[in-house]
Structure formats: C-alpha cells, structure tokens
Structure 1
Amino acid sequence: MVTPRISYAHLLAKPNPKHVESLLKFFEAGCSKRGTGGFGVEIEHLPVHNSDDTAVSYYEPNGIETLLKRLAPYYDESKEYWENGHLVGLGRKGVSVSLEPGGQVETSIGILHQPSDLNQLYGQFRREADPILDELGFRLVNYGYQPKSSFADVPVNPKDRYDAMTDYLGRVGQFGPCMMRCSASTQVSIDFVDEQDAIDKMRVGTAIGPILAWFFRNTPYFEGRVNPYPLLRQRMWDYLDFQRTNVIPGLYDQRFTWEDYAIDVLSTPLMFADLTHTPEAVASGVSRKELHRAAFRENAGDVYPDRELNAYEINHIISTHFNDVRLKNFIEFRHWDSLPIERAERLTEIIASLYYVPSNRIRLESYFDGLTEEDVFEAKANIQAHGRESNPYGQPLDFWREFLGLEGLLEDVPGDPKHPDVFQR
C-alpha cells in the first residue's frame, strides 16, 4: 500500500513552468551515453599552519591566495576564475581547484573510469602543490573539521555569494557558520542512464550514505575540542536548514519524478541570487555586487526571467540545495568527511562496486524495497545516538560491513581521538 502524499504546493509560490521544463531538460541531458561506469570525486582539504595547526586564511601573507597564484602555471590560463580582483579557482583537463567559504581547497577530479585513476590524478595535484606548501609553511589536511580553529577565527574568502550565505546561515539552524568555514568533505558522483535509473540510485544512496559515513568517519575534533558527535558532518547538515538539506522530500514515494524534485528546488528561497550569467541583468548595468545578492525570501521564479534557464542559472539554483544526495546532470553523494587519498580511493571502489556491478545493485534495491523517508531519519538518528552499538534499519554494523562489502576497513579509524594519526594536543 502506497502512503498518500501530502502536498504543500498550495502554500508555496508556484515555480515558473518554463523553469521546471529547463531543469527537466538539464537532467535529461545528463543521461550517460557511455552507459554506466563513470564517476567523479571531490576532496576538500583544510589548510593549517605547520607551526600550530591553526587554520590558514585566504588573505594572510603566504596564505591560500598565494598558493593558488603559485599553482596557476600548472593549470589552463583560460580556466582561471577571479572574483573581486582575487584568484579563487583553477582548472585543466581532469582536475579543477576551487575554494569553499573558509578557504578549504577543493580538488574536483573526473571523469574517472577506474578507482585507480583517482590516485593518479590526485597524486599529480599533490606533487605540484606540496613543494609550494612547504615553502609557504602550511599543509592541506584531510579531516571533516578544522583540528584547532573555531569558525569565529576563519574569515570567508572573497566570493560575493559568501556574504549572503553568512548572513542567511547565521540566522537559521544551528551550524551554518561552522559548516561554511571549518568543515570539509569527500563527495562522489556517478552516472545515470534515465529518470528511473537516477531515482533508484538516489534512493539507495540516501539509505546507505549514513552507514558508509560511519565506516569512513574522519572528524576527531570540533571547535578545538574532542568531537562529541558520532557523525559530525551529518549532524551539521541535518540541523542546518531543513528546507534545503537532509532527505529529498517525497523521494521514497513510488510516484516521485524528476518534476517533483525540480518543483521542490524551484519553490525554495534561493538564499542568494547569482545573476552574473543572466544576460538581462548584466545588460542592465547593475554593479557586480548587485549581480550577487541576498535572496532570503525569493525563489527562482522571483529572481530569473520568464524564459528557459541557461545551464549556469540551473547549476546555481541546484547548488543552493544541500540534500544528502543531489541530482544535477549526474548524481552527487554528499555524506562523507574529507578523506586521505587511500581511504577516498577505497570509498570510490565501494561505490563503483555497489552501483556498477549489477548483482550488487539488484541486491541493494531489493533489500531497501518499501523503504520510507521516516526509516532513513530513524537510521540516521540511531547511529547518532548509539555509535558503534547502533542498529540502522534494524541491523548491527557488523551486518552492514559484510552486506556493503566493507571487509578490511579498520574500526579504529583516524576519526577516533585515540587513533595515533590525529593531532597531538
């Protein structure tokens, strides 16, 4: 029996039908012509001083901006990204380097076809960056949260959008400024071939993501103290802003479609508007600051013209949603702390095995058949409440270790304060 859906559409500003159609075409264009097998990986790094393990800022002498400028010769000059006179991004074939709000350095790698490709491309990035970092006196570490610094000690980088994000996320939820300035993640993206394939993968990924997050947890400290949360990243996002985080509303209803997802995204206030690639706004002659402005009460229909949206506008709108699993023109899993490359490669191997080996995928979809949003909420809460003794979906963690092919993963991982790899206090 299918639980009736409760519609709140009458309470929302209805999205522009042309905008809905734009997102549907965008998703459709993402259907992989290669079949399934490709994936991408994003690894965020926390910059810390060698002298005292405190956070490195964008603006300080020999800080993040200096690192980017020193790295620039290794990248394509045509793919440099500048904002307000500051270098904030680099790109070349296979790898791009960008910044998160607190100066976290993100490497985006793909499209990959084998997990081993990740190590090769990432290794090249580190061979170029590490000698520069040694000269600058800081390093890039892979933890889910800054080991010593508080969010209050970390300024945001010079992207205009982050002023609006700081204002908005400082007024809602519990952990907005912490997430923006001090957290770091590993994200894995995979292909889909059609609408049903995408939805099936999103459902399974949403269900197993918290379990994988437990086995790949990597956050020993929070705000300069031992981290009290079994899964800090999940805790931060779940308590951030419910209208744009957690489980996608309606995902486990069997009638869920891309259109439902598009309507949810388009009906939610944008948080901030990016009009830098909206020709009508640019032609109006408004300042760059006005092209990046707060939009706390406005959704996409209030901000963008009555026409089909372009790809930049679509990507921006989707980027203001932070669900556990996010649909773009690929599927993005967002559950995991920043990981060192060896563990990131292992995670990628597991994702590839679960999604691209047909027997494994059939087994997963069969096991989770009939799952509800409430089941996922309960599983997440169970892990947060009980840690090693948790029983997500009614099964102990030893069951999930075997079921998800996690044999060989150590239980005593660097995310535990007693592990020898963590910072000495």
Structure 2
Amino acid sequence: MSIPQSGGGPIEHQSQLAEYLESGCKPRETWRIGTEHEKFGYCKDSLKPLPYEGERSILAVLKGLRDGHGWAPIEEGGNLIGLEKDGANISLEPGGQLELSGAPLENIHQTCDEVNHHLADVKDIADKIGVGFIGLGAAPIWRHEDMPLMPKGRYKLMDSYMQEVGTTGTTMMRRTCTVQVNLDFASEADMVQKLRVALALQPVATALFANSPFIDGKPNGHKSWRSRVWRSLDDARTGMLPFVFDEGFGFESYVQYALDVPMYFVYRDGKYINALGMSFRDFMKGELPALPGETPTLSDWADHLTTIFPEARIKKYMEMRGADGGPWRRLCALPAFWVGLMYDQSSLDAAWDLAKGWDAETREGLRVAASEQALQAQVGGINMHDLAREVLAISEAGLKARARQGAGGLLPDETHFLNALKESIESGKVPADELLEHYNGDWNGDLTRIYSGFSY
C-alpha cells in the first residue's frame, strides 16, 4: 500500500480535484510501466510468517537490503517501514508482505530485469538469515492470529475500521498478495476507454492469474480466494464501478465518486489522524471532527485516492488490480498482458469491441465466476477460456505492434513474456489448478510442501 503523498498545496476550488487527475495525462512517447508485486515471507525452519522484529524478521530483511544493496530508508515513528532507490520503493503490506513498487520503465524487458534483480537481492538477504519468500494470492495455512500487524499508523486505523464495514477486510490486509501494473493515459478520452477496458476485462486477469485456492490449511472452493475476499471487504470503496460505463463519464465523475468514499485518515506531521467514516466532501467543508475548520490539501486528496480499492482505479495513472500474486514468470506476464492491450490503439479498440456490449450484471458475473472457476467460468453464454484466448491474442498483437526490442536486439518484441499465459490457454489450467493437483496428488493433503515447491 502507498506511502504518504506530499507536495500538494491547499485546495481552493473543487475543480482542482479533477485537474489533479488530469495532470497525469502524458503524450504517448512518455508513457511508462510501473509494476508492483507482493510476497509472503516466512521462517524456513518453522514455516511461520515473519514478525516485524527479531533475528529472522521483516526488519532484518529491510536492514539487509538497506545496508547490503544500497537502498535508502523510509521511517515512520522511528520504525523502518520501507526503502527507496532509483525511482522504486520497497514497502510493507499490513501483515508483513514485502512489496516492490517498481520504477516507471519504458518496456517489459526492463520490468523483468527489475524483478530479477529485486528477487535476487531479497534472496541474498533471506538466505543469510534463514528466511524464504513465496508468491501466492493468499496465505495457504496461516491464520489471522498468526499474522503480525506492521507498525504503520495507517494500518492500525484501517484494521479497526475494516471490522465494522465488511467481513473480509482484515483477511485482505494480512493474508493476501497481488501483482499489479500501473499505466499512463494521454487524455480524458484515452483514460475513459482504458478504464472501461480495464474494469470489463479485469476478470480475465483474475482467471489467468488465479493462485489462491487454499486458506486456513485447506481448499476454499475458489481458484482466487484473494478475489473473493475483495467482494466482502467494503462496498463503498471496492467493485466494478458501473458508473464508469455511463455516457459522459470522465475525471469529474470519478471525483464525485471519490468525494463520497469514506475516509480512513489525514496525515499530519508524521502521524495518521483518525478520519474514519467521514467523507472527503465533509473535509472540503471543514467538517472533520479531528481537524475542525481545517480544509484539505492536494496531498490529502492524493492520500485519499490510495484508499479506494476498485478492480481498476485512477490517480495520475491507472492501476490494474485484479491479479493474484504468483510465480516469477507471471510477475513479468501481468504487465505484458495489460501493456499489449492498452499501449497500442488498435488492440485497445479491439479489446473494447469485445466488452462494450456487456451490461453491469455480466461484468459482475464474470468477476465472481473468475474467482471461483478461473478459466472454467461460464457467464451468460460467455466462456472464460475462449474469452481469455481472444484477449490474449489481442494483447500479443499489441506487443508485436509496439516492437520494443530486448537483449540487445535479439528479442524483436515483448511477446515472449506472455508465454506463461499461453501455456494456461493451451492446457486450460492456471496456477491454482496446479496447486490443487499437487494437494490432491503427490502432496497427499500436506500443504506445508507448498513452500519448498513454490518459493522464489
């Protein structure tokens, strides 16, 4: 999750909120790719999750990366809670999941190099202290009470509020991981088309990357339990945003939605101030009980936008949020999948042609069915396996059209990063299916074997 935003002055007119979003518009030649991925850390001998402090801990990993690999520290309240270097950040999710928020890069070749270097650095430190890391959409064995809460004021506030507005919020915070990609848009019209495609086709990503069939030590009946968790988290800030498909949607429409999403906090002088249950619209009127008479800054607006969790969202860029965390190849495949769809106009048009006839019920049905059945999902005559095959072909065509070379020109484009997804299309199996086959087969129901078989 995001670190506090900075650099925004007072909000004097509500029009500044839409202008803030619109200021993210960039010409095509400056579009970049930012990839984020989370992973669970554990002690190799006990297979227990890492505490924040101790010889084998999140803090030990952060210090090792700081001291051994040149990362600069980010602290809150005297605690080391993140790192930064060369435009990238390493941060902590609430339950200690380690997240790389990658630098804005030009192509997927660079993205995959970044992933490789990061995982190698993490493994270097982890091996020295007897720690492992694994990429899954949900913690397969650990219970809620096994998971520590990281020492960040934001998480303390969220943890309390989550228990009031839904049934799975604290599970999301402590026991799920994702991989996502952040992409640019050129104009309001470009943002609208991309956000509509992102929301409508997010279930395809959920299906292809489904990798969380276990919770509490047993199968949970879903291929992506992480996706299921988001559906019961907080209706006020999650979901498929049906209004995005209304005629006339634009930056101002998103602003009106975000203004009414309940706030979590206001960040002042290094501390998170409780603003739970109030709206940013209240804040604009100076009506926050915690800050009577005070009105927000653009930094507050930027912070608030990080607390809205639909399947795809906009800030000064767009985030694709539907995929489970997973194995190395899929950490590179996820940005390749969306870049192929979004960064070539012909492919973007083709993707929209696929989805533009669906109504809100169909889109939500695909979201639900993808979490349960992945590529075996069937909704209103739509076969997810066939849909994913078609969407992947569009993405591949987009990457070919981009023609971004790698390996000194030996690789003509970025299409090979889709190979893991092509294998799923050919077999009809996603990572969750592979895990379930092991569980019911050679593992004989022993889920502890997931760590030796699927860690980085």
Could you tell me the TM-score, scaled by structure 2's length?
A: 0.81
* 1:25 partnered with 2:1: no
Hey, what's the Cα distance between the residues in 2 that align with 1:381 and 1:76? 40
Q: Label 1:298 to 1:423 Cα distance change in 2 as closer, same or farther (>3 A).
A: same
Check conservation: 1:102, 1:154, Cα contact below 8 A.
Answer: yes
* 1:51 partnered with 2:45: yes
Amino acid at match of 2:273: R
Write out aligned runs for 1:275-290 (5 A): 275-276=267-268, 282=269
Hey, what's the Cα distance between the residues in 1 that align with 2:233 and 2:23? 31
Give SS of 2:274's match. strand
Check conservation: 1:217, 1:336, Cα contact below 8 A.
Answer: yes
Deviation of 1:380 after TM superposition, in Å, equals 1.9
| Match for residue 153 of structure 1 among 146, 154, 173 | 146
Amino acid at match of 1:331: M
Q: Label 1:227 to 1:54 Cα distance change in 2 as closer, same or farther (>3 A).
A: farther
* 1:321 partnered with 2:336: no
User: Which residue matches 1:364?
Assistant: 351
Hey, what's the Cα distance between the residues in 1 that align with 2:48 and 2:179? 21
User: Which residue matches 2:321?
Assistant: 334
Deviation of 1:368 after TM superposition, in Å, equals 1.9
Worse-matched range after superposition: 28-37 or 349-358: 28-37
Q: Label 1:111 to 1:76 Cα distance change in 2 as closer, same or farther (>3 A).
A: same
Check conservation: 1:70, 1:132, Cα contact below 8 A.
Answer: yes
User: Which residue matches 1:223?
Assistant: 216
Hey, what's the Cα distance between the residues in 2 that align with 1:20 and 1:340? 43
Give SS of 1:91's match. strand
Deviation of 1:418 after TM superposition, in Å, equals 3.1
Amino acid at match of 1:267: D
Deviations for 1:174-232, whole angstroms, at most 9, x for unmatched residues? 11111001111001111100111111111111111112211111113212222322321
Q: Label 1:418 to 1:234 Cα distance change in 2 as closer, same or farther (>3 A).
A: closer
Worse-matched range after superposition: 203-212 or 327-336: 203-212
User: Which residue matches 1:274?
Assistant: 266
Check conservation: 2:209, 2:431, Cα contact below 8 A.
Answer: no
Amino acid at match of 2:449: Q
Give SS of 1:250's match. helix
Amino acid at match of 2:364: F
Hey, what's the Cα distance between the residues in 2 that align with 1:384 and 1:219? 9
User: Which residue matches 1:171?
Assistant: 164
The alignment yields a C-alpha RMSD, in angstroms, of 2.4
Q: Label 1:105 to 1:196 Cα distance change in 2 as closer, same or farther (>3 A).
A: same
User: Which residue matches 2:366?
Assistant: 379
Give SS of 2:179's match. strand
User: Which residue matches 2:204?
Assistant: 211
Worse-matched range after superposition: 394-403 or 335-344: 394-403
User: Which residue matches 2:449?
Assistant: 424
What runs of 5+ residues in structure 1 fail to find an aligned partner? 1-15, 277-281, 283-287
User: Which residue matches 2:192?
Assistant: 199
Write out aligned runs for 1:256-271 (5 A): 256-270=249-263
Hey, what's the Cα distance between the residues in 2 that align with 1:232 and 1:183? 9
Write out aligned runs for 1:388-403 (5 A): 388-392=375-379, 394-403=381-390
Give SS of 2:423's match. coil
Hey, what's the Cα distance between the residues in 2 that align with 1:375 and 1:308? 40
Write out aligned runs for 1:228-247 (5 A): 228-247=221-240
Q: Which runs of 4+ in 1 moved over 6 A?
A: none
Could you tell me the TM-score, scaled by structure 1's length?
A: 0.86
Q: Label 1:175 to 1:103 Cα distance change in 2 as closer, same or farther (>3 A).
A: same
Hey, what's the Cα distance between the residues in 1 that align with 2:391 and 2:146? 39
* 1:100 partnered with 2:93: yes
User: Which residue matches 1:5?
Assistant: none
Q: Label 1:153 to 1:62 Cα distance change in 2 as closer, same or farther (>3 A).
A: same
| Match for residue 346 of structure 1 among 320, 323, 333 | 333
Check conservation: 1:414, 1:420, Cα contact below 8 A.
Answer: no
Deviation of 1:42 after TM superposition, in Å, equals 0.2
Q: Label 1:256 to 1:121 Cα distance change in 2 as closer, same or farther (>3 A).
A: same
Deviation of 1:398 after TM superposition, in Å, equals 3.0
Give SS of 1:237's match. helix
Q: Label 1:38 to 1:251 Cα distance change in 2 as closer, same or farther (>3 A).
A: same
Q: Label 1:243 to 1:51 Cα distance change in 2 as closer, same or farther (>3 A).
A: same
Deviation of 1:112 after TM superposition, in Å, equals 1.8
Check conservation: 2:43, 2:56, Cα contact below 8 A.
Answer: no
User: Which residue matches 1:8?
Assistant: none
Hey, what's the Cα distance between the residues in 2 that align with 1:385 and 1:420? 19
Worse-matched range after superposition: 297-306 or 362-371: 297-306
Deviation of 1:302 after TM superposition, in Å, equals 3.5
User: Which residue matches 1:297?
Assistant: 277
Amino acid at match of 1:100: E
Worse-matched range after superposition: 242-251 or 100-109: 242-251
Hey, what's the Cα distance between the residues in 2 that align with 1:372 and 1:159? 40
* 1:113 partnered with 2:101: no
Check conservation: 2:213, 2:223, Cα contact below 8 A.
Answer: no
Hey, what's the Cα distance between the residues in 1 that align with 2:215 and 2:197? 29
Check conservation: 1:53, 1:148, Cα contact below 8 A.
Answer: no
Check conservation: 1:55, 1:146, Cα contact below 8 A.
Answer: no
Check conservation: 1:22, 1:308, Cα contact below 8 A.
Answer: no
Give SS of 1:262's match. helix
Amino acid at match of 1:146: A
Q: Label 1:66 to 1:232 Cα distance change in 2 as closer, same or farther (>3 A).
A: same
| Match for residue 407 of structure 1 among 416, 422, 426 | 422
Deviation of 1:394 after TM superposition, in Å, equals 2.6
Deviations for 1:236-267, whole angstroms, at most 9, x for unmatched residues? 11111101001224111012121111111112
What runs of 5+ residues in structure 2 fail to find an aligned partner? 1-9, 287-292, 393-420, 440-446, 451-456
